[in-house]
Amino acid sequence: MISNKLLFRMRKIKSIVFVSMLVLLSSCNSDVFQEHEIGSNLIDKSTEVFSIDTFTVYSSTVKMDSVATSNNSNILLGKYKDPYFGNIKSDFYGEVDLQSAFTLRTISSGDKVGVKFDSLIFIMYHEGSKMINGRVNDHFFGDTLKEQTISIHRVTQDFEFPDNKFAYNADDVLEYDLEEIGSSVFIPKRHINSFIDEAKDKDPLEKKGGLRIKMNDALGLEIIDSVNIGSDVVTDGMKWLDYFKGVVLKSGDNNSAMFSYQTGVGMKMRLYYSETEYTEAGVVRFHDFPVNKKSVNFTNYSSDFNSEEHDYIKNIGLIDELENDLPSTETDNLSFIQGGTGLMTKISIPHIENLNQMGLAGGILKAELVFSPEDNSYDEDFYPLPFSNFELFTTDKKNKFNEGVFDPNTNKVVTSTYIYNSKYPDESYYMFDLTDYVNQILLNGQNYDDALLISIPPNMIGNSMERLIIDNDRKSKTRIKLKVTYVVQN
């Protein structure tokens, strides 16, 4: 008796021959290509090609219990109200480095020249616009035309986490001084250049979308006093962090947008000063204290999942464990993906193996997972569709990332393709090529709990607020579908 595995390998070999016959068959018989539901009677022909998209596809929303938000070269900061997810806010906690020893200059006579305080400011640059797949990504969410507020507070707790692990979204906060050491009310600029060259540009902040926040003089005066007395606080990086542990950048309650800001050269505390009792006295100089990319620096995201328009969203906020996914039947036949808050869509397709019942020999030509954004759930001016390609991972009843679904041609995790319909934009959709995945199921079978997770790339989840609302209403043309093209020989 021939085993099922061997039989399926025979089918795949034969299907190569079938493909070469398709052009001839289609020209001789116009009704060869037909659509059928699983279980329907098959047409009595020796070789047939079927297109099937009537598989049952279940969807649900998974909420990650922790999202790593550390060690990023840019950070998201702000607050806005999402029509689906309610009030979303992010605060950033970062160490401010000494960078280099801040010491008095020694002149030819051997004397050291004292310094006096001028001003202390915090400098931030927006992340620059980028063209991605023909679209301009301005790295924003919400209404950018309204005033925004950022306040700066001094962190009073060491930036340390258990076992040197990364910090995680809503789980981690640090103690800080409630009194502001700086604040600014401003209207952000869009379509900004991310290139920074302060040596060649006298006022790069105006031209490149930078933001200056004046800080309290008291801190600047303390630092200058330390410089004048030669304290190791301004010469030893570790002693500096003992003295000034870092800052938390907090979004104001009036904010209506979230922007991406650079760290490193694009984010720093700058102390302006001048020298005294010397021929160059009065010449303004400065020392920079950068906020660098670090594993201890992190963003704290929060969402109240309180939507006036979509009351069922509050159920997402009630998910208390990773394995407790929320079926789309409880969220108006929608499932959700969002970075920062850690939302993913889980897909279950339980009856793929029924394809083995369609003929004595055959093979899969193509299998595609197709899903569409809910109508009116996005807006290019406020809540744009994701610029990132989604990735696909296997999972089970515990909803953990097991392993990526790989493309055998590239040996990389399969990524989604956005199929844009310029004539009918509402008919645009996302697609994953699942040909190899489906073939493996037909060859090896699948377990009852086998499922898939659609996610923003894991290395980007903690630094993105991109989101997608997916329609899976069984009565909708844009429901989630597995579309399979199958060749059968009876």
Output the pLDDT for position 19.
Answer: 36
Output the pLDDT for position 72.
Answer: 86
Q: What is the tens place of the pLDDT at every residue in 74-90?
A: 899 999 999 999 999 99
* One domain for residues 177 and 294: yes
Residue owning tokens 């319909």: 421
Output the pLDDT for position 355.
Answer: 83
Q: What is the tens place of the pLDDT at every residue in 209-246?
A: 578 999 999 999 999 999 999 999 999 999 999 999 99
> Is 315 within a domain?
no
> Is 309 within a domain?
no
Domain boundary among 269, 303, 337: 303
- What total number of domains does the chain contain? 2
Global confidence as pTM: 0.82
The C-alpha atoms of residue 413 and residue 404 are separated, in whole angstroms, by 5
Provide the 3-class DSSP secondary structure of residue 12: helix
* One domain for residues 12 and 60: yes
* One domain for residues 274 and 209: yes
Output the pLDDT for position 189.
Answer: 65
> Is 86 within a domain?
yes
CA distances from 244 to 21, 193, 225, 236 (A): 74, 31, 14, 12
> Is 25 within a domain?
yes
* One domain for residues 199 and 285: yes
> Is 466 within a domain?
yes
> Is 310 within a domain?
no
* Torsion angle of the four alpha carbons 442, 443, 448, 451, in this order, in degrees rounded to the nearest 10: -70
Domain boundary among 303, 331, 365: 303
φ, ψ at 356 (rounded to 5°):
-65, -15
Q: What is the tens place of the pLDDT at every residue in 331-347?
A: 999 999 999 889 999 99
* One domain for residues 35 and 116: no
CA distances from 181 to 153, 173, 381, 403 (A): 6, 19, 33, 46
> Is 237 within a domain?
yes
Please give the residue range of the domain that contains residue 133.
Answer: 74-303
* One domain for residues 298 and 434: no
**Under-70 pLDDT residues of the chain:** 1-46, 108, 128-129, 131-138, 161-172, 189-209, 279-280, 358-362, 490
Output the pLDDT for position 206.
Answer: 41
> Is 308 within a domain?
no
Which residues lie closer than 8 Å to 313 by C-beta, 6 or more apart? 84, 85, 86, 305, 306, 307, 331
CA nearest neighbour of 8 among 360, 436, 351: 360
* One domain for residues 260 and 119: yes
* One domain for residues 386 and 467: yes
Output the pLDDT for position 359.
Answer: 60
* One domain for residues 297 and 353: no
* One domain for residues 362 and 451: yes
* One domain for residues 346 and 427: yes
Output the pLDDT for position 251.
Answer: 92
